[in-house]
Amino acid sequence: MFGNGGNGGAGGPGANGGNGGAGGWLRGNGGAGGAGGVGTAGAALPAFPTGGNGGNGGHGGAAGLFGNGGAGGAGGMGGAGFNQPDGTVAGDGGKGGVGGVGGNGGAGGWISGQGGDGGAGGHGGAAGKGGGNTGFSGTGAKGGTGGDGGAGGNGGEARGLFGSGGNAGRGGDGGAGGAGGFGPSNGNGEGGTGGAAGDGGAAGAGGTGGNGGWVSGNGGAGGAGGDGGLGGGGGKGGAGNFAGGSGGTAGSGGNAGDGGGGGRSGWLIGTGGVGGAGGAGGAGGTGGNGNSGGAISQWGSGGTGGNAGAGGSGGHGGAAGQLFGDGGAGGKGGASGDGGKGGNGPINVNQPQLSGWGGAGGDGNVGGTGGNGGAAAGGFGIGGRGGDGGSGGAGGLRGDGLPVNSDGEGGDGGAGGNGGDAQLVGSGGTAGVAGTGGTGSPSGQPGDDGTPGKGGTLFGPPGVVG
């Protein structure tokens, strides 16, 4: 009734760890799973040059009514491949063994216990999933960390009324992050955070944030993409039923990943999630788009678009809810990149009670175009301001002793974004200012100013430049 389950034993070379025992039915905790054994090393030809696989970690034991689930055991490391001696004809080294899978955490008690954590994967192995909480208010457990190349474990799901989903584990180097656990499908809990991806030559994507509970939980944030030769994309924010989760930041790399999109908001009054930032790299990632406020929705502002990495465009702002709310602002462009468009306010000319401003357009970076401002609401509201154009880059200077006028030509300035239009009552949005031309010989040409937004059809002046 009260006793804890015993721990599982460790596995021998290449063998699986034992499972933890179940806890007593009332308050007992589940036992921990045993660690998997390390794979055997490879032998010389003509035997088995490939290393043996690591054993899997044992699963954590389930808890009683109030107890905590046992942790899953770690997976064993794969055995090393045989090293060929110098001067042999068959010079290839043996392949390393596959790492064992981490054990799953045990389930928590159905009234209030926590789920057990998932075990870590061996090198190359996937991590175990965190145990789900089956009870009234507990939190799902964290997923285990993946071994090199292995995916992070998913967070455990909350299944009661108020519990939160577990956070996901980080992927091993080169591996993807796990997904955050969901909040309770019939309650108020938060979604778990998506796991960060590991770094590597081609980095994995960040995990998706878990969805919040359907009554009022927020969506979990998306995990960050890993850094690498190819940066991983940021994970998407989980859907909330109040606020959407933020998109994950993308990893840096030779070609950077895009920021994750913000999660959608709740159906009535939630705010859309913010888009993640694009990663830096040879080609900058695009900022994630902000999601719209209130999906079926009535109230709610759109999420802000993510800022871009170098060379990438800013993400667009999300639209407002159908009745009230402001459009989200567009993200700023990366170097040489364009700004994102501002999100629209609620637009329905048949409902003059609507209220909301259009989102501001994002500023262009050097040489980039500013984003357009979003339109205002169908009833009352001011159009969004257009983003400013980026300035042109300066030309290079001539060296001493060279002919006159051999300085480099300046770059042209970017155009300003257009102001958003008002609808019934309200001022038109301000147009963005053009970027200046860069210095040089000759200097670059300035860009064009944006077009001001139109005033309201019932009342309101047009916008201006600046």
Neighbouring CB atoms inside 10 A of 26's CB total 13
Confidence (pLDDT) at 11: 76
List, for residues 365-376, the tens digit of each pLDDT value.
Answer: 666 666 776 766
Confidence (pLDDT) at 275: 57
Highest mean pLDDT, choosing among 153-157, 233-237, 435-439: 435-439
402: buried, middle or exposed (CB in 10 Å: 19+, 13-18, 0-12)?
exposed
Confidence (pLDDT) at 140: 57
Mean pLDDT over the full length of the chain? 64
CA atoms 148, 149, 154, 155: torsion sign: positive
406: buried, middle or exposed (CB in 10 Å: 19+, 13-18, 0-12)?
exposed
Confidence (pLDDT) at 294: 47
Q: Kindly report the pTM of this predicted structure.
A: 0.56
Confidence (pLDDT) at 385: 74
Structure tokens at 308: 């871009």
DSSP state of 464: -
- Residue 416 CA, chain-centre distance (Å), reads 30
Confidence (pLDDT) at 440: 73
List, for residues 188-199, the tens digit of each pLDDT value.
Answer: 455 555 555 555
DSSP state of 269: S
Q: Stretch 145-149: mean pLDDT, rounded?
A: 58
AA letter at 248? G
Do 287 and 294 touch, CB atoms closer than 8 A? Answer: no
Checking if the pLDDT of 451 tops 80, the result is yes
